[in-house]
A and B are shown apart, each in its own frame.
Chain A
Amino acid sequence: MAREPGLIPIDELVDASRPIKALLRRFAYLLLIGAAVALILIGKIETVLIERVRSHFSDGVAPILEVLSEPIRLARAGAEHIADLADLIEENERLSQENARLLQWRVFAKKLEADNQALKELLRFDPGPAARFISARAIADVGGAFARSVLINVGAGKGVGAGLPVMTGDGLVGRVIQVGERSARVLLLTDIKARTPVIVGDPPIRAILAGDNGDNPKLKFIDGEGALEPGALIVTSGHGGVFPPGLPIGVVAGDVAGETWAQTFVDWRNLNYLRVVDFGDQPDPAALAPPPPPPPQPNTESRANGG
C-alpha cells in the first residue's frame, strides 16, 4: 500500500518514542530529584504561592482528617474517662480541699477586683474591646523533624485570621500562620522558627522564648546578669506585637549545658481542643513606654560664663 505523502505510520511513531521512553525511565530519578530541588527553590522564593497551595490543600483534606481523627479523640476521651473513674475518691478529696482553698481566694479576688476597678476609674483606663474566642479542634499533628505545627478545623469562615494567638485552658500554644476557608495551621511555640518575647518571674526579666523542635523551648537573650530562678512564671511580654502581654506559657525548668530551658504548661501530646483568641488591636508595650531621656548635652553656656 502506498503511503500518503506527509503522513508517518503509527508503528514508526511508536518505534521512535521507544528510545525517549527508555531514556526517561533511565533518568527518571534524576529528573524527579531535579524537580524536587526546583520546588525547594521555588518554595524559598515564592512563599506566598506555596502558602496558598498549602491552605487550599489543607481545606480539601480537612474533612478527611476530621473523620480520621475522630476515633482517636473518642478513644482518648474514653481512656481519660476510665482513668477518672479509677481515682474518683482521691479526685473528690482533692477537689474538696481545693474548693475550700479557692473559697478563701474568692474573697481576696473580690477585694482585688474592686481595687482594680477603682484604680481604672481613677486613671480613666480604656480596657479596649473584649476578647473573642473561637473554639477549634486539632485535626492533624503534622510537623515532622523540621517543623512543629498543627492543623485546626476552623478557618477564615469562622473568623480566624493570621497571627492570632491559640491557647488551651493551660496556656499559650502558638499562633495562626496560615488560614484557609475551613482550616488553619498553628505554628507551635516549640517550632524552631518560633521566637516569643516573654517576661520571666517577679521582678520581671525580659527574654526570648525560642523553640528547637523539641518539647521544651529555650530562654535566650535574657535581660540582666543573674540566672533565672527555676519555677519562675513565664508570660508573654507583648513586645513586638505578636502576642498580647500576660498570656501564660510555663515556668523556668532550669539550666542544662549552659542553656535555660522552659517547661510549658501545655502538654504537646494532648493537643485536642484549642481556642483561637482575637484580642483586637493591642498596643505594643514598647510604644507605650516613655521615651528614653535625651543624652546629656555639654553645658556650653556655663562653660562660656565661667571661662
Chain B
Amino acid sequence: MAVETRHPARQAPRSAWTRLAAGFGLTALAILLAAAPWPFALAALAPPAVAHAVVFDWSLRRPDALPAPLAFIIGLLLDVLSGSVFGLGAVTCLAAHGSAAAQRRFLSPRGIGHAWIGLALTAVAIAGIGWTIASAYSVLLQPVGPSLAQAALTVALYPPLAILLQTARLACGLTLRKA
C-alpha cells in the first residue's frame, strides 16, 4: 500500500477564522506600520496607499481571507486613523476590493506584472473617486496633486507589498507552493 505523503505547504485548508484573521491582521499591521512617522516626503500619503495596494492584492489572490465587509472595516480603520473625511477610506477600500474582484478572472492566473497594471488603473480611479468625494464634502475643490501623488505611491509600493504578502501567505499556509 502506497503511503500518501503531504508536502508541508499542502496542508488541509485553514479554517475560515484563521484565513480572515490573517487577511485582516496583516492588512491592519501594514497600515499601522505605514502610519509611523517615516522621514520621507510622501509619508503622510503612505497609509491609504498601502491600504489600497494590500486590499487589492488580497481581493485578487485570496478573496476568502479579506471579503468585502472586512475591506469596509479596513477602510474605517483608515478613516479613524487619518482624521480625514469619515467614510471616505471605506469607499476607496471597497473600490480597490471591487476592482480586483472585477479583474480577478483575467489577472489571477497571471503574474505580478499584469496585476501591477490592474492596480495602476485602480489607483487612478480611486484618486478620482476620493478627490470627488472630498471636494463635495468640503464644498471646495481639493488640490489634485496629493491625490495623484497618492496614486503614484500606491503603484510604486505594490510590487514589494505583493511579494511580502505572498511570502506571508505561504508562511500561513494560505497559498499552495508550486510543485
Which residues of A line the B interface, CB within 8 A? Answer: 28-29, 32-33, 35-44, 50, 53-54, 57-58, 61, 64-65, 68-69, 72-73, 76, 138-151, 177-178, 185, 187, 192-193, 212-215, 269-272
Contact = CB atoms under 8 A, between A and B. Distances in A.
A43 to B, nearest CB: 3
Given A28-B69, A69-B37, A143 B84 contact: yes
Contact of A143 (B69, B82, B145): B82
Given A36-B87, A142-B35, 17 more contacts: A28-B68, A35-B90, A40-B86, A40-B91, A43-B87, A54-B83, A58-B81, A68-B32, A72-B38, A73-B37, A143-B83, A145-B142, A150-B37, A151-B35, A212-B143, A269-B40, A271-B37
Chain B at the A interface: SS class: helix
Interface string B46-62: 11100000000000000
Q: Which 8 A-B pairs have the closest CB atoms?
A: A43-B86, A39-B87, A40-B87, A36-B90, A145-B146, A143-B44, A147-B84, A146-B134
B142 A213 contact: yes
Given A37-B87, A40-B88, A144 B47 contact: yes
Given A36-B94, A269-B43, A57 B145 contact: no
Contacts of A65: 32, 35-36
B45 interface: yes
Interface string B96-135: 0110000000000000000000000000000100110110
Contacts of A64: 32
B149 interface: yes
B142 A33 contact: no
A123 to B, nearest CB: 43
B23 interface: no
A69 to B, nearest CB: 4
